[in-house]
Structure 1
């Protein structure tokens, strides 16, 4: 009887039921969209931070560069080339020089890794050395001495340095032509491959380092750098006269690699003439909820260092990603709540109004023996079905909107302030000369926004639909429970 009457009443009042369901559907769909976009923002920010941290890395320990003293030129990059005399058989030959310098931060003693590992709450710590390599290749060319017109001599031209008997003339041609190329190198601890920037890349060709290759002349090259320089597995990379065999090609999952070339840590220390030195300690905490206390312990017990967590880096994210995240978390959230509240109120008022128009109906049912609880249950049942219909429509609309956002994948730009995370460019007086345009401006990434819909979001939508139906039914049921059979008789015409 209950379901028969329920089906008949919903069919008879289709327009009113559709209005109530549509209002609830709009509010529920908006909640789904805002929730899914917020989840997409979180994922996008995670990709940005993942490009700075290795998988499982919770924080990094570094030491800021000390500004050079006034007049100190020892930190400036210097390139030395052999002076070749006039009779030198190698005169005019191509010359090459490599400069390898720690990049971004001042070096730390490798024992810092053990100090950090000994702090309470630290699960694991691994050291790494970030380097910048600057290669200069080219040659000097001699010029020719041309006598002035009208002068006589033993020839039309002599080598520079000839006296020419005091005769006038000019030196033409000659000079220097050098090519400058720079790339980044990261020294990885091959015994602990689970931490560090290389973990943000996947090996797409060849293999990664083996635990026993700390002294091996092997390298893993980023795919973009390999393509640019036509490198493949089995090729050789020369750094400061040392040849390293390429054993693997790595592709960064975030689209931006930590370095162009990865070497075993010991090899990188040898190239930079910094034995036993590192630039960064990558730290994994035992409990992700205790990162704050671990940071405080490291700052207290490992002095003169800077501890940076993912939360610290998140505060430096700017650009359209930050703006969109702010809109999703503030304006979008409050807007969805406001629309949902309005939908609940409208549903409740419409249900209550429908009860007012059914006074004679409910009064007659009571006169026939229906209890107030049965009448109230009938009204609540109708409202609950309206809510479920609205929930189904809202879930459909929300999923369609989320799918459209994911399909379009609008691009968001995330800009990290320079100096955050892994430093930008080598230190010292020549740092500015070596930085690329991207590094000097900070780390910038383009992230495609998605709107993932989780099972919990669908569950929330169903709960809201049921809540909307119950609220609307509560309004109407309270009104219906107050009706008396006499009211029906008074309104009979």
Structure 2
């Protein structure tokens, strides 16, 4: 009986039901769209942070470089001997650690033993400055000049002739300067650290047996610049390396040009048993801040940087859009949804007022107030579900439209402090940070999750209940006498 009457009444009031459903649908669609765009923002930020951190890395441990002592110079120092032949090319490499003050390798084990740390691995960041070219010696030529004037150059007087000073003509120097970054990675733990964000697209990566081998994996951009292929060789400070793999970063461009085994890098940089950065993975990603405090308290003098710290260095349209989606978008969704609920409740209440004769007659025939209330609430819930279905369709359509359009957002990566920036030459930052701003372009997507759909269904039912509760309360207060007074 209830179902039949419910179906008949909804059929009689199609326009009113559609208006109520559309009001709820617009509010629900906006919520779905904002939630989906926010999820897309989160994915975009994660993509940006991957270019700053290794995949699976929750934090890094570094130590700020101390100020140089008086009279010392932290810059490169090159010494060459001049040669008479311009055809003789001279070359010199300067290898320096970068990324802050070097840490003892034993500190990696100490960090790994802290509470809440799942694993830790060290890396050594180097900057190589290569200068090569040639000198050309100039030739000294003397010039003579005579003077017609006489002078008294000594007893007896007489005229004098003076020779001109020798002059050097020609000569000079022609040198090229090439600076690139080298990172030493722990070949036994490549899943954590700077190489974890790279995918080897040609050749192969390191094996655990290549701890001391003179082999290298180079980034795709650097290999293209130097025309390296798998099997190519090059030298770093006189040491010959063989390219065994060419790697492509998962996102953006690689900040590291060359990857070599950690022990080999320590030899190149004269940094035996030292690292510049310790990559840390926490046992629980929700406890990262707690783990950071634990490491900072137990290992003095170090700087612990988390993904949240790096996120604060990301600026550009991505940061602005994320703020709008998480703050303005959230409150706008709440306001529109509240308005939709209120409109649905008022329309339902107004519809009840126009059904005085109907409800009064039903009560006169013996319907208790709870049945009248149930009837109104039932109709409102059905309207809410219809609105929810329309809202889900509109919201999913809007989300897919955003994904199809894929608007481009820019993210500018600045230095996060605590050790300078990567790529800034000696004394720069660790393998995951940059001193100069690097701009990335990220395509925005709006993924729709099952949780978002479940939220939409819950909102639809809630809207129906709110509207039905208000209408049902008003209908339950009607008396049978009201129906008789409305009969003309």
1:445 corresponds to: 440
Alpha-carbon distance, 1:144 to partner? 5.6
**Contact 1:391–1:464 (8 Å) recurs in 2:** yes
Any residues of structure 2 matched to 1:317-466 within 5 Å, and which?
A: 317-420=314-417, 423-425=420-422, 439-466=434-461
CA distance in 2, matches of 1:426, 1:104: 9
Match in the other structure for 1:159: none
Q: Aligned equivalents of 1:439 and 1:307: distance in 2?
A: 16
Task: Give me the whole-angstrom Cα distance separating, in 1, the residues matched to 2:51 and 2:109.
Answer: 25
Partner of 1:30: 30
**1:77 maps to what in 2?**
76
What residue is the counterpart of 2:470 in the other structure?
Answer: 475
Shift of 1:9: 2.4
RMSD in angstroms over aligned alpha carbons?
2.6
**Residues 247-291 of structure 1, C-alpha deviations (whole Å, 9 max, x = no match):** 111111121324111100011111111111110111122222332
Please give the residue correspondences for 1:89-488 in structure 2 after superposition, counting only pairs within 5 Å.
91-143=86-138, 166=163, 173-420=170-417, 423-425=420-422, 439-488=434-483
C-alpha contact (below 8 Å) 1:106/1:427 kept by paired residues: no
The separation in 2 between residues aligned to 1:190 and 1:316, in whole angstroms, is 30
Q: d(CA) in 1 for partners of 2:419 and 2:380?
A: 58
8 A contact 1:147–1:168 mirrored in 2: yes
CA contact (8 A) 1:65 1:427 kept: no
* Structure 2 Cα separation of the partners of residues 38 and 145 of structure 1: 74
1:6–1:91 distance in 2 versus 1, CA, 3 Å: same
For the 8 Å contact 1:131–1:426, the answer to whether it is kept is no
User: Structure 1 residues 67, 347: closer, same or farther in 2, change over 3 A?
Assistant: same
Change (3 A) 1:27 1:99: same
Tell whether the 8 Å contact from 1:201 to 1:252 is kept in structure 2 after alignment.
Answer: yes
Aligned counterparts of 1:368 and 1:125: Cα–Cα separation in 2: 78
1:4 aligned partner: 4
Q: Which runs of 5+ in 2 are unaligned?
A: 147-161
TM-score (norm 2): 0.90
Contact 1:419-1:442 at 8 Å conserved across structures: no
For the residue of structure 2 that corresponds to 1:99, the secondary structure is: strand
Report the count of equivalent residues: 471
Moved more, 223-232 or 180-189: 223-232
Tell me the CA shift for residue 219 of structure 1.
0.8
User: How far apart are residue 441 of structure 1 and its match?
Assistant: 2.6
TM-score by length of 1: 0.89
How much does 1:29 deviate?
0.9
Q: Once the 2 structures are TM-superposed, how far is the Cα of residue 150 of structure 1 from its aligned partner?
A: 11
Quote the Cα distance in structure 1 between the aligned partners of 2:376 and 2:143: 113
Once the two structures are superposed, residues 311-368 of structure 1 have per-residue CA deviations (whole angstroms, 9 ceiling, x without a partner) of: 2222333222222222111111011001101100100010010010011122222333
CA offset at residue 169 of structure 1?
8.4
Counterpart of 1:155?
none
Deviations 1:120-171 (A, max 9, x none): 22221111001111111211234466788999xxxxxxxxxxxxx9568865
Change (3 A) 1:339 1:309: same
